[in-house]
Amino acid sequence: MPPAPFLALLERVDSTNNYAMAQVHAGLASQGMAWYALEQTMGKGQRGRNWDGERGKNILFSLVLQPGYLKVSRQFHLSAAVALACLEFFSKYAGDETRIKWPNDLYWRDRKAGGILIENVFQGSLWKYAVVGVGININQVDFDPTLKNPVSLKQITGKDFDVPVLVKELYDLLVMQTAACGPGSFATVLKTYNRNLYALNKPVRLKKDNAVFETVVKEVDEQGRLVTVDAVERNFEFGEVEWLI
CATH value at residue 97: 3.30.930.10
Distances (CA, A) of 31 to 20, 23, 133: 12, 12, 14
The tally of domains found in the chain comes to: 2
- In this prediction the pTM is 0.93
Distances (CA, A) of 68 to 17, 19, 74, 242: 20, 22, 11, 31
> Same domain for 144 and 36?
yes
Q: Is residue 239 part of a domain?
A: yes
Q: Is residue 1 part of a domain?
A: no
Sign of the torsion formed by the C-alpha atoms of 40, 243, 64 and 166: positive
Q: How do the pLDDT tens digits run along the chain, 245 residues long?
A: 334 458 999 999 999 999 999 999 999 999 999 999 999 988 655 444 555 579 999 999 999 999 998 999 999 999 999 999 999 999 999 999 999 999 989 999 999 999 999 999 999 999 999 999 999 999 999 998 888 899 999 999 999 999 999 999 999 999 999 999 888 999 999 999 999 999 999 999 999 999 999 999 999 999 999 999 999 999 999 999 999 96
> Same domain for 185 and 209?
no
Domain that holds residue 232: 203-244
> Same domain for 152 and 68?
yes
